[in-house]
Amino acid sequence: MIKTEKKHPYDKNLDLLQAFRAGDKESGEELAKLNMPLVYSIAGRFAGRGADMSDLVECGSLGLVKAMRTFDFSHGCAFSTYAVPLIFGEIRRFLRDDGIIKVSREEKRLAGILNAERERRLSSGEEADIASVARAVGISPQDAASAIFSSVPPRSLDERAFDDDDTATLGSMICDEDAETRDFNKFALRLAIEKLSPERKKLIILRYFRDLSQSETAKILGLSQVKVSREEKKIMEILKRDMV
């Protein structure tokens, strides 16, 4: 039986943000607290490279506050997705000014191993969340997150999206329907998929990562083709909802 999804803490983001914009300071504080794990996760990538963790978190928090103040509800993307490059941008600016952005050779090697293991798991229909990949490689989820983040160069939303266009910034392109393959939209989709139940996640992996037909997927999952079709439609609606 396919299980339904549990409510994710980030589901409250937009309601809290609307209340904050309307002048409710308590909602703003709750919104910031709710998204602090995202700040710590990104700041943790740069730990041990010459900057205090408290400074990294403080800079990341500035990016989060900037996201709270500038998020455009009409863009149609998740607040957490919008906040990620702003948090990255503030930390990167701080480290760049201090000249201490460094990614070790060992961390680059580990990121390659982790990404290869993740791709293998996706292609075989296995669990590919960060905890499962880290366990397979034999390291902690925290170390895995740090290594994986190191393979993705952070950029600010204020940076130009194209070298030959001074008007188009990453911020203006991030929620563009014609740019679904861009890094941050992929990140938003990954977040939404990771919130699915294991059964629904496996269905999506089989259908869209292994490119199996509904009948082939049904045989593997022990379901009828009609059931797979219905579940697939439900999942698409869930993913659309969670990316808004």
> Quick one: pLDDT at residue 26?
92
> What is the predicted pLDDT for the residue at 171?
53
Residues 36-53 have pLDDT tens digits of 988 988 888 777 767 788
What integer pLDDT is reported at residue 31 of this predicted model?
92
Q: Residue 156 pLDDT > 60, yes or no?
A: no
Q: What is the pTM of this model?
A: 0.43
Spatial CA neighbour of 88 closest among 52, 61, 55, 48: 61
User: What is the SS3 assignment for 6?
Assistant: coil
Amino acid 188: pLDDT: 62
Q: Which residue has the higher pLDDT, 172 or 230?
A: 230
The pLDDT tens digits for 80-131 are 878 888 888 888 778 766 544 455 667 777 888 888 888 888 888 887 777 7
**Domain 8-102+167-176 belongs to what architecture?**
Up-down Bundle (1.20)
Q: Structural domain boundaries of the chain?
A: 8-102+167-176, 106-151, 196-244
Report the distance separating Cα 171 and Cα 151, nearest Å: 21
More confident residue, 184 or 212: 212
The domain made up of 196-244 has a fold known as Arc Repressor Mutant, subunit A (1.10.10)
Kindly report the average pLDDT of the chain as a whole number: 75
Name the residue with higher pLDDT: 123 or 170: 123
Q: What is the residue-wise DSSP string for 33-72?
A: HHHHHHHHHHHHTTTTSSS-HHHHHHHHHHHHHHHHHH--
Check whether 30 has a pLDDT greater than 90. Answer: yes
pLDDT at 240 over 50: yes
**How much is the pLDDT for 123?**
83
The first and second tokens of residue 48, run together, are 């041990």
User: What's residue 158's pLDDT?
Assistant: 56
Q: What 3-state DSSP class applies to 156? A: coil
